[in-house]
């Protein structure tokens, strides 16, 4: 069967030894359509980000680029602007027809913590080739805040799929007619279009911009930090804002999104020609996100956005990304937000879980 492997399929792969780890994989690592990945006990500070390359392995490249290594067991600070590689606890022995795609977890992306998976022989970030046998590694580059991390923390996640079950535009229109994907008329063009909300229903607060000089964030502390110590409020009095080059923003989509139980989705950039910015650092949307069957009534997507070379005027309703929907190989036996710890079900504009509400 074609499609994204659901949680019950991931558990079966763990039982079969196709996904393995020391210590053993924990039950709550298994999400409706993905597996959380855990940091191992050692981190390497490297001179630069790298891809392994065909016929080469990560250990050889680490020997080439390593500056120093350190123990994550008691906790260590990853400094803003530096690049680190951490071997993950999980490793794969995939069947020939199964491949993987990785992404940062929601809380990781909202901290502007660039986290990508690399593999032996890999020529792309966050891609695991069909039939891959071997270890996984996280490349981590804090962009806005220095962070305190420990072994066992979960900064990214992986989806496994058998074949390609991406829904084309005709299939998306049919799905929307059967189970609405957004409230109102969808913009479907090579995926479901996502626009930015710069006309809040109440007040003028439209988002947040990361402050340039802040303290360290301990990733184990939830609901601990005062937003004002790390973020500047961004107000949109006239339905637009000007993005500053190099600055990192948290904004929110205008659309309230529904992910039906039989689908998963991933946010992708729209097109480079629409503006001098990048949106999407953490892009997985699980089955049940915003869906009534999982206790949702539509959930808006949080947009992690960085402006590039020139200041750019971002307008209310401007399309900034798209959701690419994929079929699940079967409906997960556990949906996002239904009886599991889902921090962002029913969300609006929201910082990461580390900040006080």
For each of the domains in the chain, give its residue range(s) and CATH number, in order of start.
3-162 (2.70.40.10), 169-327 (2.70.40.10)
Q: Chain-wide mean pLDDT for the chain?
A: 91
SS3 content of the chain, % helix, strand, coil (to 5): 10, 40, 45
For 276, counting Cβ atoms within 10 Å of its Cβ (0-12 exposed, 13-18 middle, 19+ buried), the class is: middle
Residue 346 has pLDDT above 50, yes or no: no
DSSP state of 182: B
- Given this model, what pLDDT does residue 225 score? 98
Q: What is the phi/psi pair of residue 104, to 5°?
A: -70, 150
Label residue 297 by pLDDT band (50, 70, 90). low
Tell me the CA distances in angstroms from 238 to 140, 196, 197, 203, 316, one per residue in order: 37, 14, 12, 12, 9
For 227, counting Cβ atoms within 10 Å of its Cβ (0-12 exposed, 13-18 middle, 19+ buried), the class is: middle
Residues whose CB falls within 8 Å of the CB of residue 271, separated by 6 or more in sequence, listed in order: none
pLDDT of 178-236, one tens digit each? 988 988 889 998 899 889 999 998 899 999 999 999 999 999 999 999 999 999 999 99
Contact between residue 318 and residue 274 where contact means Cβ atoms under 8 Å apart? yes
Residue 108 has pLDDT above 60, yes or no: yes
Helix (H, G, I), strand (E, B) or coil at 159: strand
Within a 10 A sphere around the Cβ of 45, how many other Cβ atoms? 16
Label residue 278 by pLDDT band (50, 70, 90). low
Q: What is the phi/psi pair of residue 199, to 5°?
A: -130, 75
Q: What length is written for the chain?
A: 357
- Given this model, what pLDDT does residue 270 score? 58
- Among 57-66, 113-122, 268-277, which is the least confidently predicted range? 268-277
Residue 299 has pLDDT above 90, yes or no: no
Label residue 295 by pLDDT band (50, 70, 90). very low
H helices present in the chain, as ranges: 7-15, 58-65, 106-109, 169-178
Give CA–CA dist 276/308, Å, rounded. Answer: 5
- Given this model, what pLDDT does residue 279 score? 67
Q: How many alpha carbons lie under 13 Å from residue 271 in its C-beta half-sphere?
A: 6
Label residue 282 by pLDDT band (50, 70, 90). low
CA distance from start to end of the chain: 43
């Amino acid at each position: 069967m074609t499609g994204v492997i659901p949680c019950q399929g991931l558990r079966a792969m763990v039982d079969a030894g196709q996904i393995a780890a020391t210590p053993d994989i924990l039950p709550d690592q298994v999400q409706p359509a993905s597996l959380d990945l855990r940091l191992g006990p050692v981190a390497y500070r490297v001179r630069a980000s790298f891809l392994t390359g065909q016929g080469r392995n990560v250990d050889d490249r680490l020997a080439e680029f390593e500056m120093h290594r350190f123990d994550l067991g008691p906790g260590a600070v990853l400094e803003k602007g530096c690049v680190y590689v951490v071997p993950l606890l999980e490793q794969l022995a995939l069947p020939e027809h199964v491949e993987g795609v990785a992404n940062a977890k929601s809380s990781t992306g909202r901290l502007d913590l660039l986290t990508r998976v690399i593999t032996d022989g890999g020529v792309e970030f966050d891609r695991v080739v069909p039939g891959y046998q071997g270890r996984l590694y996280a490349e981590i580059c804090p962009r806005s805040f220095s962070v305190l991390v420990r072994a066992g923390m979960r900064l990214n996640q992986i989806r496994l799929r058998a074949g390609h079950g991406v829904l084309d535009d005709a299939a998306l229109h049919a799905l929307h007619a059967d189970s609405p994907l957004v409230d109102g008329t969808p913009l479907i063009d090579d995926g479901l279009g996502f626009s930015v909300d710069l006309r809040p229903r109440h007040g003028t607060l439209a988002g947040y911009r990361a402050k340039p000089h802040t303290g360290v964030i301990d990733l184990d502390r939830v609901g601990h930090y005062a937003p004002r110590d790390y973020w500047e409020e961004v107000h949109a009095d006239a339905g637009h804002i000007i993005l500053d080059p190099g600055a990192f923003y948290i904004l929110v989509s205008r659309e309230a999104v529904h992910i039906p139980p039989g689908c998963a989705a991933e946010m992708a950039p729209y097109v480079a020609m629409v503006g001098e910015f990048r949106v999407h650092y953490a892009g997985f949307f699980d089955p049940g996100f915003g869906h009534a069957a999982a206790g949702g009534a539509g959930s808006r997507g949080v947009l992690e956005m960085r402006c590039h070379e020139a200041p750019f005027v971002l307008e209310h309703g401007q399309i900034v990304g798209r959701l690419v929907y994929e079929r699940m190989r079967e409906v997960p036996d556990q949906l996002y937000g239904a009886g599991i710890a889902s921090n962002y079900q029913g969300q609006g504009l929201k910082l990461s879980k580390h900040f006080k509400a």
